[in-house]
Structure 1
Amino acid sequence: MAAETGVVEELRGLRARVPQIGGALAATVDGLVLAEDIPPTQAGQQRQRPEAEPLAALTAAALGLAFRMNEATGRGAFRELLIHGELGYVATYAAGPAAVLTLLADDRINVGRLHLEGRRTAGRIGELVAEAQRSATSHPAPEVPPPERRPPLERRRLPLERRRRGSPAPE
């Protein structure tokens, strides 16, 4: 996707502004990684570095539950999900209709700052993804014509009944 470079820059900028964010991931709502900024685990750390693909898939699953919870309780459109664990936070923010931002933060982070920076970054990522989608639809890839030496598909494949009866291909 054309927005990938801009999204990576947003993730790096976010981690530079808020050092307590230990990792950031942008993904599609169906769990495909758009960009990541998750540093490798350093010696002596008690936490392992999460892999981007499984984290994106888990984000999509959690997002599905959050959508259903919002719907069931009449709270409107999904905006964010915050999980507070013993060693820190996992925060997921809607980044437009097609993407999400997941942040991994230390337990010593100011949660207000996490939300402020996470919401801003998610908004910018949503704009980048939307722009990439608009430019992709306004400039579709040229269609490749089928090779001329091959007969049309309907002449190559007969319906099952015609094959059984031994009927010739339609002209």
Structure 2
Amino acid sequence: MGETPVDADTMMGTELRGLRRRRPEVAGTVLAGTDGLLISSDLPETDATHLAALAAASFGLGHRVADTVRHGEFRESVLRTTAGAVVTYPAGRNALLTLVADDAADLEALHADARAVARRAGSVLDTRRPVEVTPASESHAPLAARPPGSALPRRATHHTWRRPPL
């Protein structure tokens, strides 16, 4: 007898709810594509679609910074606020797990659990949705697809900074 395959959406919803049950300091979770599109959410009060897009922007910036300073792969971004933190982790090749945590959160302890959830969700998504690569000319390619050093056009003139008049 073979095993019954687990529905990927059910598994991801279960993972997100399980994380919140184990970690009461987590107010909500969002699983989104690196393109900013919402995949799954467990956020009762926050606009999950908007947070998915912001998480993708944060990931893009974090990935570029890590690449620029040559300190390895993007691991997570942490935004601390007066009321807590928002943490984004990569989940496989094309997804992100974002957590909204309250100010009582022990982020070091939370990281291990959240990274495990991100790994499991990422492995499901990586096998469920094959990556489609659409060739684009370099001038119209998205920022993440351009080679380092060619992201922005270079200015022909050199401008110097001037102090504004007092």
What TM-score, normalized to structure 1? 0.70
Q: Do structure 1's residue 19 and structure 2's residue 15 form an aligned pair?
A: no
Give CA deviations for 1:36-68 in whole Å, capped at 9, x if unaligned: 0012xxxxxxxxx22011100101111111011
- Matched positions, count: 126
Q: Please give the residue correspondences for 1:16-165 in structure 2 after superposition, counting only pairs within 5 Å.
A: 16-39=21-44, 49-133=45-129
CA distance in 2, matches of 1:98, 1:25: 14
State the distance in 2 between where 1:54 and 1:88 align: 19
Q: Deviations over 1:107-163 (max 9, x none)?
A: 0011112111111110111111012125x99xxxxxxxxxxxxxxxxxxxxxxxxxx
2:63 maps to a residue whose letter is: F
Could you tell me which runs of 5 or more consecutive residues in structure 2 were left unpaired when the two chains were aligned: 1-6, 133-166
* In structure 1, distance between residues paired with 2:52 and 2:17: 18
Question: Match for residue 14 of structure 2?
Answer: 9
Aligned amino acid, residue 131 of structure 1: T
Query: What fraction of aligned residue pairs are identical, expressed as a percent?
Result: 40
Query: Is the partner of 1:77 in helix, strand or coil?
Result: coil
Unaligned runs of 5+ in 1: 40-48, 138-171
TM-score with structure 2 setting the length: 0.72
Give, in whole Å, the separation in 1 of the partners of 2:126 and 2:58. Answer: 22
Matches of 2:51 and 2:99 in 1, distance apart? 11
Partner in structure 2 of residue 160 of structure 1? none
How far apart, CA to CA, are the structure 1 residues paired with 2:13 and 2:56?
19
Aligned-pair RMSD on alpha carbons? 1.6
The list of structure 1 runs, each at least 4 consecutive aligned residues, that deviate by more than 3 angstroms after superposition, is none
Looking at CA atoms only, which structure, 1 or 2, has the larger radius of gyration? 1
